[in-house]
Structures are given as structure tokens and as C-alpha cells.
Amino acid sequence: MVNFLIFGPPGSGKGTQSVRLAEKFNLVHLSTGDMLRAEITAGTDLGKKMSSIMATGELVPDEVVIEMIAAKIDKTKDSAGFLFDGFPRTVGQTIELEKMLGERGMKIDLMLVLDVEHDELVKRLIARAELSGRPDDKDTVVVENRISVYKSKTEPIINYCREKRLYQPVNGMGTIDDIFIRLSDHMKKFV
């Protein structure tokens, strides 16, 4: 089993690349953002509670996403590996993920971090709003808040993983195809 984290600010291309990478390397793609949006679409109690938090660009509570991920890992434990997209988003979530994987005889093998310039992030998210209708993409104030939440709460994971020699920065500027090749080249060394 080989487990990758795909990491980067909102709009850096995590979701876009994860779908393609999971297919290429036969990995299970686990996106907490997708899972939360599915709860909202299904109109569950959890979805109702989380939608207002997500609409402001804040993170939902750690325990909510940890529980969702644990359930998915147990359902798909015979897979070739996992590609975690948008999870973990706090150091607390990272420690819990390591614990969860450790208890099941697994570990994080590599953290791929997409580096994208600030103006390009905003441009991509606002462009996506036209198609997706996602409330957290429509408003530049919310988009800026998501980027600032990333810097304050999520970026500290980079240092945590760097110390464990898991950190691999990747240039996230350019075409989707070019970035896919860059990411694949790093992942090939592990599968």
C-alpha cells in the first residue's frame, strides 16, 4: 500500500489532478471536500450543519472529517493505496491520520505540495464559480478567507511533514497536463 497526500491552497489543482492521478496509479481518491458537498446535496443533518461553515471559507471541525475518512479507509482497505485530497488540513488532522494509518499497518509515503501564485488561485476559483455554482467560489471575500485559512491553519503541516522527509514541492503553475506529468514523475518512484 502506498499513500499520498495532495496538498496546496484552494484552487491549486488538488481535486483536478487527484482524479487523474488516482486513475493512473490505481489509488482510492479520498476528498473531504467532495464528501462534505455530498452530505450537503443529500440534505443530511451533518450537511446542513457544515454548509454554513463552508460557505464562509472556514474549516469544518477536525472530528467531522476524521470520522468520515476513517469510515472510508475501513471500507476500502484492500486497495492499492490512497490519495488524500484536501485532507489533512490541520496539524491535528495530520496526527490523527498517521495514527489511523499506523493502526492499520500503513503510513503516509509522500506529501505533494502544489505551489501556485496568489493571483492565479483567485482567478481559477472565480472562473470555476461560473460552472460549479459553489457558494465558496463566488465571493472574492470568501475566496481570500479560504486562502488565509490555508496559510494560518493548513500550511504548518508542511513543516511537520518536512521534518519527516515527506515533503515534495511541485510547481502548480502551467497547464493541467504539464502539472500532471510533474506529479506523476514524483509518484512513480513509490509505486
Site residues, ligand B4P (CB under 6 A) = 10-16, 32-33, 36, 54, 57, 59-60, 65, 86-87, 89, 93, 124-125, 128, 136, 146, 175-176, 179
Nearest-approach distance from CB 87 to ligand B4P, in angstroms: 4
- CB of 161 within 8 A of CB of 111? yes
What per-residue string of b and e applies to 30-52 under the rule 16 or more CB within 10 Å gives b?
Answer: bbbbebbbebbeeeeebbeebbe
Measured from the CB atom, the residue of 78 and 129 that comes closer to ligand B4P is: 129
Cβ partners under 8 Å of residue 39, min gap 6: 46, 47, 50
Nearest-approach distance from CB 94 to ligand B4P, in angstroms: 10
Nearest-approach distance from CB 65 to ligand B4P, in angstroms: 4
Measured from the CB atom, the residue of 110 and 114 that comes closer to ligand B4P is: 114
Measured from the CB atom, the residue of 152 and 175 that comes closer to ligand B4P is: 175
